[in-house]
Chains A and B, each alone.
Chain A
């Protein structure tokens, strides 16, 4: 217990150090007379005026007073709060704009009245009394703790909530202490053993009392009537029985493996060390490794059934990359995605095999196939064709496939297409629209260029990382945005006619801002020739409905491309433009300016209407696709985890579209999945809570019906829930329905989820399903979820430390989760389960012999073994091999674990620590104790045990029996271990040797200390031949039941790991052969998510299409009389 506490204390100390690190962060605080001094965060008080500089975190919830911008705007990044990567603009009150200098604050005095601290991130009620006037405050003026100042030099703010009153902190939940399922079950095992102990203790106590009572007269040599010993007092049997009971409890305490707790702690620390030191989980880029922050949960890693994952920073690396574009209805940047490629490749293997199985006529068969493919016009068939070519020349084709894993040279630009790159686009036929397309890209944004010293390429900062990606792409295509002033934007353009770079200035007339309801953004610019253009980018549905009739030339092709891009998980945006006549513009501008000048509440509506007036009759240019770049290895990792039988839920604070995109990118979603959207209709928003509930209930019920009706295997379901709907679904009366729906879906995506909701989902999912849940995230918004889950994992790659500090394991990269769970989780689960079972066995085998002997001593409580033997049992003689079992045991090696992720399901089904197993081991322990005791007693008691006619006394029999126990329990562990290292050998055989050495040394002590053990080994039992052959006999008999058990199991009912061990051991040569691969293939769990599942679905899909195509081709052929006879002959073998 002491060791346990020590371990916890060390772990807490590390947490404390990290906490202190946060608390001692410095911020500039106003101390009076306009003087700002550095102070640590912990000394901040409500009402302090602070100055926060660019890229610093806010130390508490602040009221924004002023910023480095004249209009009091500042940009904040709230990634830690909601996972959104877009910068958010906050605006100070007009009244406080003047406070833009340190000096100003010497006289500053104001009063803020506001709500009590609460966890709601998106609301704030309060007012500011400043210079005798009261101004209402709204969330726009509030800078929340854990968000970060971006794109703004500095801000001044007043601390409203500090420390634990801050909204972000209010959102955090108390860190619960976690114990693994195995350990909780272990407690029950201990209860069983405890019951067993109490039972035999009471038998002993009753027996002793009865014996004392019945023998008090007869056994004169015991002199029981002279009660010098309360334990045997015939005059007070109850008392002596009670004392005997207590003594028995102490004696049979060996049944309760108290040392198990110590051993488990040691083993877990060592396991954690192995996890921390695993080179397979070392991130070379950050130089960080996986860190097991608590070692309590190692084995829980092997039982995870659900993963709740954050999106931003966990799956994605919060970096946008320009990937593809569709201009004038032609798609650039790679046509084939990986899924199609792998699918068609695998189909081609099938085709190959098929072909080999045919005889001579197959060449015709193939030509028919080619023919039928070449007649296909849909893009999918084209890809099959192209892959058929690929068979002949795979390298040439591979260049057309954009591979996600490849690192792009230019940050934010991962685009490869010879037709556009390196200024090649100027040689294309119709380029006017293309030029416009690039101009939209370079002009329609809010970004600002940042000087980059290293190269002539520009760097950009913008509200959203997408815009940065567009700007970088435009620069690559020859449209470099190089300067922005209040009203102009300057581009360096590549002039297609001359091929020269020219500098052009565009007058920025208006900017119609992006927001989530408009889903579009427009700029109105005037070029040097005086022509006015409106450039617009936005979501496809928004733009398409605003196209002019003559602007729909590319609509069909673009729509197809958009859906392809979306399936790849790319975020798409459609570009359109229109030319605006001067007079038309001026008319509109007057309306717009008027609307802008309005201060009343109608302002928004007026602006909206004004925008509607001009944003119409667009001409479609094309679409772009940017990739929210996934972290390295994420899709592969998700694929493996899915195969291991894990369910993956995505919980994100980001908006729905982004979440779905990422769903596609990670292969969590695919096109043929039925997406069930749970959301509030816009009308319902204003309605009563009751109606809203009704609506959600209705949706859930109809979806449930749908799932029941459909055959689930053919059409997988995905549930997409948004924050508001979730709020209601998690209410007390709906949550059961909601979770039963969610559990039936193959994947669940929750968007717009607040940190508190994340924690709530985690808790409810845990309660509802009873499954082991792992939550993984990187930001402060994931802390609740991480703490609530059975296992919390933090990503340590990014800068925020809150998630890591709350987590049980921290990973530098999401992809290490695969190895952490499938290898280490699997191992640790098996190790700890085996170890506990072995401990139970060992202590029963030992403890019960004491009880049996007690029966032979008239229940007097005499122990068979010397006290020192008993002390040594758990301390030295049997503890070390267990540690080697707990630390080094592996059923299969790590690469096999990864190849057969289905092995992981043993942990989910809790095979290694089921009650069946536990009872089995208890029985095994009982059998072993019986074998050891009876054999020793019967053989030794009857006559002399050596040639000199000496008879064995208690000490001899005890020592010989004890030797048998040491051999038996140590050899039992040999039968349990399947992976031997020299360490295990040293520990096991060393332990046995240790016993003899101990016995020898103990015998050397003077008899005053060693008593009857004095010289026992050298004089009495060592020379006695029977001692040695008896040990052998007992060993064989005691291990026999287990040996028979494993023989039967291995030969007739092998477990998964046994078979794989056999394959590995006996057919080592087939590791690369098809049958091994096939086995690997089969081992994948039937799952609907992950890359492999997607490929499988695609293959089914393609095959169907191919089949139908072929059918129609055949029917047309066979209908034609000329081919009829010929085809009949040649296709007959098929």
Chain B
């Protein structure tokens, strides 16, 4: 068991926002499979359990958001983005036209609910947090937009014929739970804009104290190894500006100061080389104009 140094960064712009990031995709592969991670991830007989220890450097106030971060994962690829059926998600089997979901639209002559590549490739790593021996309570409710739950995913639509084909993509869905309650799916279906993205996993609703060590038990199921994608676990608090975000503060400060600098330059230039308003020596016709 290894204790990894935990990455900890403190934000300048939003000092209250604290973040713990842990990349686990490499570490969670047993050393014997390090050279062939693909074999490891494809072999379902190998247990995917993995434990990570996170050190809390500063006091983190609840709620603490748990994200998984995928890098080099093109959720925004056009083929992928298109591969869904919003109507099916809302109306279920009543809605038949699911051509956009191909090749994951039907299996064995039966339609798949939810269809499409996005749902099929649902992220299936799981995390459980332990505080010593005590399990830390993670709230996994209300991680999706309320409007999604209420208006886009049917309350009476249940997964059907899902992941029944020869190719199993990502997570399985409990056919007894309606789509509107499958919040992991709802979050996943909100395709990210960039190849590196966070997705909300849950919330820890109690404070984490400084110097505490959390144990995270990970089921490292999801295959990012075939394309070299990275997986990270992120714990973060938030502020009125959202999550951990240095850039906007830096941008505001640097741009503001550069404006002041430029203003000073212009002021100096103007003092050294003044041009009164309406100064006519600059008019083109006085250069070439009638000197006689």
Contact = CB atoms under 8 A, between A and B. Distances in A.
Interface of A: 215, 217-224, 226, 228-229, 231-232, 856-858, 860-862, 864, 902, 905, 935, 937-958, 1006-1008, 1011-1012, 1014-1015, 1019-1020, 1024-1026, 1029-1030, 1033, 1036-1037, 1044, 1047, 1051-1056, 1059-1060, 1062-1067, 1079, 1082-1086
A941 B86 contact: no
Given A221-B80, A953-B192, A1060-B283, 14 more contacts: A220-B121, A858-B74, A942-B198, A943-B19, A944-B236, A945-B243, A954-B81, A1014-B152, A1019-B146, A1036-B255, A1056-B283, A1059-B283, A1063-B280, A1066-B278
A258 to B, nearest CB: 24
A1037 B247 CA distance: 14
A481 B151 CA distance: 102
Given A944-B198, A954-B192, A1007 B248 contact: no
B33 interface: no
Contact of A1059 (B241, B273, B278): B278
Interface in B49-93: 63, 65, 67, 74, 76-81, 86-87, 90
Given A954-B192, A1051-B266, A949 B203 contact: yes
Given A219-B74, A857-B78, A951-B67, A1082 B278 contact: no
A1006 B191 contact: no
A949 B80 contact: no
Contacts of A1029: 241, 248, 252
Contacts of B283: 1056, 1059-1060, 1082-1083
Interface size class of B (residues with CB under 8 A): 35 or more
B77 A950 contact: no
A898 to B, nearest CB: 16
Given A221-B117, A857-B74, A1019-B146, A951 B247 contact: no
B190 A1086 contact: no
B275 A1051 contact: yes
Given A860-B79, A1086-B289, A1025 B241 contact: yes
Interface stretch (B106-114, B212-220, B221-229): B221-229
B247 A942 contact: yes
Contact of B81 (A862, A1025, A1056, A1063): A862
B78 A954 contact: no
Q: Is the interface of A mostly helix, strand, loop or mixed?
A: helix
Interface centre among A949, A956, A1062 (most CB of B within 10 A): A949
B240 interface: yes
A101 B152 CA distance: 96
B200 interface: yes
A426 to B, nearest CB: 51
10 contacts: A856-B195, A862-B76, A944-B236, A951-B192, A954-B193, A1008-B90, A1054-B282, A1060-B283, A1063-B278, A1065-B277
Nearest to A961: B193
A1056 B285 contact: yes
Nearest to B142: A948
B102 interface: yes
A222 B284 CA distance: 63
A927 to B, nearest CB: 14
A944 B242 contact: yes
B26 interface: no
B190 A953 contact: yes
A865 to B, nearest CB: 11
Nearest to B248: A939
B238 interface: yes
A222 B79 CA distance: 7
Given A861-B78, A944-B65, A1082-B290, A951 B197 contact: yes
A1060 B279 CA distance: 9
B227 A215 contact: yes
Nearest to B262: A1044
A218 B227 contact: yes
Contacts of A1055: 284
A857 B248 contact: no
B10 interface: no
A1065 B278 CA distance: 9
A1083 B223 contact: no
A221 B169 contact: yes
B239 interface: yes
B200 A1053 contact: no
B286 interface: yes
B196 interface: yes
Given A947-B242, A953-B190, A1033-B252, A1082 B285 contact: yes
A1006 B245 CA distance: 33
Contacts of B279: 1054, 1059, 1062
Contacts of B251: 935, 939, 1033, 1037
Contacts of A220: 121, 169, 223, 226-227
B108 to A, nearest CB: 16
A942 B251 CA distance: 15
B275 A1054 contact: yes
B191 A949 contact: no
Contacts of A1047: 266
A1020 B145 CA distance: 8
Given A941-B196, A1026-B241, A1063-B278, A949 B236 contact: yes
A1079 B273 CA distance: 23
Per CB-CB distance, the 6 closest pairs between chain A and chain B, nearest first, are A943-B243, A944-B243, A1063-B278, A949-B65, A860-B78, A218-B227
A955 B76 CA distance: 11
B191 A1056 contact: no
Given A937-B194, A1051-B266, A1066-B277, A1082 B289 contact: yes
B103 A226 contact: yes
A1024 B285 contact: no
B199 interface: yes
Contact of B255 (A1011, A1033, A1065): A1033
A17 B228 CA distance: 74
A1085 B286 CA distance: 10
B76 A954 contact: yes
A886 B196 CA distance: 44
A1083 B190 CA distance: 65
Contacts of B203: 949
Contacts of B195: 856-858
B231 interface: no
A252 B191 CA distance: 23
A943 B63 CA distance: 15
B244 interface: yes
A1051 B270 contact: yes
Given A941-B194, A954-B76, A1025 B240 contact: yes
A218 B278 contact: no
Nearest to B258: A1040
A946 to B, nearest CB: 5
B239 A947 contact: yes
A1053 B198 contact: no
B32 interface: no
Interface centre among B63, B78, B195, B239 (most CB of A within 10 A): B78
B192 to A, nearest CB: 6
Contacts of A221: 80, 117, 120-121, 169-170
B206 to A, nearest CB: 16
A931 to B, nearest CB: 10
Contact of A951 (B74, B199, B255): B199
B147 interface: yes
B44 interface: no
A957 B282 CA distance: 47
Nearest to B63: A949
A951 B198 contact: yes
Contacts of B65: 944, 949
A1086 B102 CA distance: 76
B152 A1007 contact: yes
A226 B169 CA distance: 14
B269 interface: yes
B288 interface: yes
Contacts of B67: 944, 949, 951
